[in-house]
Amino acid sequence: MNSKNNIRNSCDTGETPPRRSFLKTIAMGATLAGAMLMGAGQAQAATTWKIQSTWDAGTVGYTLFEEWCKSIEAKSGGELKFQCFPAKAVAADNNSLFDSVRSGVLQGMNPFTLYWAGKIPASVFLSSYPAGPDQPHQWDTMFYSMGMLEKTREIYKKFGLFYVGPIQHDANIIHSKQPVNSLADLKGMKIRVPGGMVAEVFQQFGVSTVSLPGSDIFPALEKGTIDAADFVGPAVNYELGFSQVTDYIIFGPPGVMSIYQPVDLMDLTVSLRAWNSISPELQQLVEDEVRIYSQKHYLAIQARNIEAMEKFKADGDTVTRLSQEDLETWRKAAIPIWFNWANKNEDARAILDIQLKYMMNDTVGYITEEDIKGF
């Protein structure tokens, strides 16, 4: 009787009976344990992508890329991590970089898109080419508003790759030991330029073209084995010491830094296997982040370019400019070469068709029906 009264009294006063308290403790412990197990399972489920850039360690390009990669883990709530590497850290050269992503040694790459001209002929039209579209917004328009992104993904899928999106970088410029004030001044010069279409157009003007990796440019200029060299834009080129071995920088007409690669695009490409392994929500996050990063990357480098040009000037370098007439002459020489590359396969033709439609529209007006008559 007393014990029953005690129990009743404890209930009436809000006190928890010992057995009920014990059961409640067990239930709470089970809930906490379950939550911990779920948390551990989620942590184990986090996906890590190893991504190699073609930027050298220590350059402004790689520093920006590294910062962006580190931000993905927090933005994805810990579900996806980007582990980034500089040029040559995992894959020793561009060929092995391409193959490493296809084979799964790496899950992604941040290359200059033009590097795959020998493997994917259409890629010559996925970054700027001689006398083609020469403003960054034009490329974003073609990719995101005219179907070029979707077509590019179709092409890359054939190689087991997923092209996430373009990353705006800069114009490529030429540093020279001698002044170049017109296309005629190029005749007889030995210049390091990318291969493919770019080299072919330069050769039309009497240039002896040389293909060298970025790390070999400075010593070649220093020794005088080449007269001039193209590489990326002012910010990175200054970091690589080009002001120490050249005296002139060749630009196009005002507003056009380069007539041969004015919008040198990079991209983020991942293996199709890696892409398909993440949720649609994560896929959308990565796509959105690439578009955001593209703008940040481009603007940061443009700010650094302004600073770098002041440094080049202080070091005694002189800017020389080609004329608008030179640009028109250059375009006339380039157009037949565009079509030679477009005719390598149907994918290349499809990409150029999108771009011709844009360049011939009156909003751009770079070429006319007469310009491409017979091609």
DSSP string, 313-325: HHTT-EEEE--HH
d(CA 45, CA 348): 39
Interior angle at CA 371, CA 367 and CA 375, nearest 5: 120
Residue 269's Cα: distance from chain center in Å?
Answer: 9
Residue 360's Cα: distance from chain center in Å?
Answer: 27
316-340 burial, b if ≥16 CB within 10 A, otherwise e?
ebeebbbeeebbebbbebbbebbbe
261 has binding-site annotation: yes
Query: Which pair of structure tokens corresponds to residue 278?
Result: 């993440």
Per the listing, tokens 């080449």 go with 226
321 has binding-site annotation: no
- For 348, what's the count of Cα atoms within 13 Å in the CB-facing half-sphere? 21
Query: Which pair of structure tokens corresponds to residue 248?
Result: 């002139």
> Could you tell me the sign of the dihedral formed by the alpha carbons of 66, 71, 76, 78, in that order?
positive
237 has binding-site annotation: no
202 has binding-site annotation: no
Q: Is 46 helix (H, G, I), strand (E, B) or coil?
A: coil
343 has binding-site annotation: no
Question: Could you tell me which residues are beta bridge partners of residue 166?
Answer: 267
DSSP string, 121-179: GGGGGSS--TTS--SHHHHHHHHHHSSHHHHHHHHHHTTTEEEEEEEEEE---EEESS-
Per the listing, tokens 């070029």 go with 148
Binding site for Na(+): residue ranges?
Answer: 231
Q: Which residues are annotated as a binding site?
A: 172, 192, 230-231, 261
Q: Residue ranges for the binding site for substrate? A: 172, 192, 230, 261
